[in-house]
Structure 1
Amino acid sequence: MASYRDVAARIRSDVDAGLWPVDKPIPGIDRLRERYGVARETAHRAVKHLVAEGLLYSEGRRGTFIRPPAPAPIVARDRHVYRDALGYFFDRGAQDWRGVGAPAQEVGVPPADVAELLGVDQGDHVMIRDRAVGPPDATHPLQLATSYLPMPLVGQLPVLGAAKTGPGGIYDRIEEHLDAPISWEETVSSRPANDHEQQQLRIGAGLPVLVVTRVSRVGSQVVEVNRTRMAADRFAVSYEVMRDETARWPREAERSE
Structure 2
Amino acid sequence: MALWTEITNRIRADIVAGRYPAGELMPREVDLAKIYGVGKTTVHKALAQLEMEGLVVQTQGRGTVVRAHPARERLTLDTSVWRDEIGYYFSAAVQPWRAVRPPTVTEGPCPLDLLPVLGLEPGAPVVIRDRVMGDPATGQVMQLATSYLPADLAAGTVLAQPDTGPGGIYDRMEHDLGWGELQWDGLIAARAATPEEVRLLGLAPGVPVLCITRTTTATAGPAAGRVVEVNVTRRDASRWAVGYPIERR
Query: TM-score, normalization: structure 1?
Result: 0.72
Percent identical: 37
Moved more, 123-132 or 166-175: 166-175
Question: Which residue does 1:175 correspond to in 2?
Answer: 174
Matches within 5 A, 1:122-161: 122-137=122-137, 140-155=140-155, 157=157, 159-161=158-160
User: Is the 1:115–1:121 contact (alpha carbons within 8 Å) kept by the matching residues of 2?
Assistant: yes
- CA-to-partner distance for each residue in 1:66-125, whole Å, 9 max, x for gaps? 655443334223111111112111121121112233332211012223122222221111
Q: Distance in 1 between matches of 2:41 and 2:137?
A: 37
User: Is the 1:57–1:203 contact (alpha carbons within 8 Å) kept by the matching residues of 2?
Assistant: no
Q: In the TM superposition, what is the alpha-carbon distance from 1:34 to its structure 2 partner? A: 5.3
Moved more, 85-94 or 197-206: 197-206
- The alignment's C-alpha RMSD in Å is 3.5
Runs of at least 5 residues in structure 2 that lack an aligned partner in the other structure: 220-224
Q: In the TM superposition, what is the alpha-carbon distance from 1:139 to its structure 2 partner? A: 5.5
The structure richer in helix per residue is 1
Q: Distance in 2 between matches of 1:68 and 1:102?
A: 32
Matches within 5 A, 1:15-54: 16=21, 18-19=23-24, 32-33=28-29, 36=32, 38=34, 40-42=40-42, 44-54=44-54
Counterpart residue type for residue 96 of structure 2: D
Q: Distance in 2 between matches of 1:59 and 1:88?
A: 42
Q: 1:242 to 1:18 in 2, by over 3 A?
A: closer
Q: Distance in 2 between matches of 1:71 and 1:117?
A: 35
Q: Distance in 2 between matches of 1:11 and 1:43?
A: 14
Q: Distance in 2 between matches of 1:154 and 1:45?
A: 50
Moved more, 126-135 or 10-19: 10-19
Q: 1:8 to 1:35 in 2, by over 3 A?
A: farther
Q: 1:155 to 1:3 in 2, by over 3 A?
A: closer
User: Is the 2:76–2:93 contact (alpha carbons within 8 Å) kept by the matching residues of 1?
Assistant: yes
Runs of at least 5 residues in structure 1 that lack an aligned partner in the other structure: 20-25, 244-248, 250-257
Q: Distance in 1 between matches of 2:132 and 2:218?
A: 26
Q: Distance in 2 between matches of 1:63 and 1:134?
A: 31
- How many residue pairs were aligned? 234
Question: Which residue does 2:226 correspond to in 1?
Answer: 221
Query: TM-score, normalization: structure 2?
Result: 0.74
Q: Distance in 2 between matches of 1:134 and 1:65?
A: 27
2:2 matches 1:3:
no
